[in-house]
Amino acid sequence: MAKLTKAQKVRAELDGDKLYSFDEAIATLREHASKKFDETVEVAINLGVDPRHADQMVRGMVALPSGTGKDVKVAVFAKGDNADKALAAGADKVGAEDLMEDMQAGNLDYDRVIASPDMMGVVGRLGKVLGPKGLMPNPKLGTVTPNVEQAVKDAKGGQVEFRVEKNGIVHTGIGKMSFKDDGIKANFDSITKAIVKAKPSGAKGKYVKKVSLTSTMGPGLKIDLSEIEGA
């Protein structure tokens, strides 16, 4: 018989049907956290939507007040004064046609791609490259903007994108186990409020069906929906 891993043992010991308060869930994750590295705390939100229909898509941006604990790599398509401002704001790479060619060559190690409106003629040629990775700049998400400086600051400061997957679930990281409990809770509240607010017009019946909290190596714990405002 194959030997169970530590994570599998933990999952076997816990009641899979129990609904946890946020505080109970964090305490349980901390109890079983790895001592070797700083695990990411993640939330999974099951929604009553079918994203194959345009009027049931859930997508947006939200600022996490405690940050993400991650170094976000940002590329910016801009020229002139906008390029200088983007660099000053902390962008990792700024360019125009040269940046496009670099990305076409496969250099896509970025978490966010931002563009000024005048650069969309160049960026549009990267649709097949950026689209599948969810990196295509979009004015609805604030990643096509004349104020590239602020967009870079937002990205570096803890703003994250959320997007429902084809199975109706939103997954996103909300911090690190090294964060204090109230810091993780502030991020949890921000992401859940944003998703509740983003309820699409085509959603029928129960919108927020299940919320789970987990860490990189930890168990998935079901959160009592009474913990979520508007759920």
Same domain (yes/no): 52, 80: no
> What tokens does 226 get?
């009474």
Which tens digit of pLDDT belongs to each residue from 115-130?
A: 999 999 999 999 999 9
- Cα end-to-end span (Å), the chain: 43
**pLDDT value, residue 10:** 56
Flag whether 216 is in a domain.
Answer: yes
Flag whether 149 is in a domain.
Answer: yes
Taking residues 176-192, report their average pLDDT: 95
**pLDDT value, residue 231:** 66
Flag whether 219 is in a domain.
Answer: yes
Same domain (yes/no): 101, 147: yes
Which tens digit of pLDDT belongs to each residue from 50-69?
A: 999 999 999 999 999 999 88
Boundary residue ending a domain (122, 156, 190) = 156
**pLDDT value, residue 35:** 78
Same domain (yes/no): 149, 189: no
Closest CA to 55 of 208, 199, 209, 230: 199
Integer Cα distance of 123 and 130 in angstroms: 9
**pLDDT value, residue 229:** 75
User: Which domain CATH number covers 90?
Assistant: 3.40.50.790
Which range marks the domain in which residue 182 is found? 6-67+160-227
Same domain (yes/no): 143, 175: no
Same domain (yes/no): 57, 86: no
Which tens digit of pLDDT belongs to each residue from 12-47?
A: 566 667 999 999 999 999 998 877 889 999 999 999
- The number of distinct structural domains making up the chain is 2
Boundary residue ending a domain (95, 125, 156) = 156
Flag whether 1 is in a domain.
Answer: no
**pLDDT value, residue 3:** 55
Taking residues 89-112, report their average pLDDT: 95
Taking residues 135-155, report their average pLDDT: 94
Same domain (yes/no): 170, 204: yes
Closest CA to 114 of 156, 167, 163: 156
Q: Is the pLDDT of residue 4 over 50?
A: no
Flag whether 42 is in a domain.
Answer: yes
Same domain (yes/no): 10, 36: yes
Q: What is the pTM of this model?
A: 0.80
Indicate the pLDDT class of residue 204, thresholds 50, 70 and 90. Answer: confident
Taking residues 88-109, report their average pLDDT: 95
Same domain (yes/no): 102, 209: no
Indicate the pLDDT class of residue 173, thresholds 50, 70 and 90. Answer: very high
Flag whether 119 is in a domain.
Answer: yes
> What tokens does 154 get?
């937002």
**pLDDT value, residue 221:** 95
Flag whether 194 is in a domain.
Answer: yes
Mean model confidence pLDDT for the chain = 90
Same domain (yes/no): 165, 61: yes
Boundary residue ending a domain (100, 132, 156) = 156
Residues 6+ apart with CB under 8 A from 23: 181
Taking residues 78-96, report their average pLDDT: 96
> What tokens does 111 get?
């978490």
Same domain (yes/no): 85, 30: no
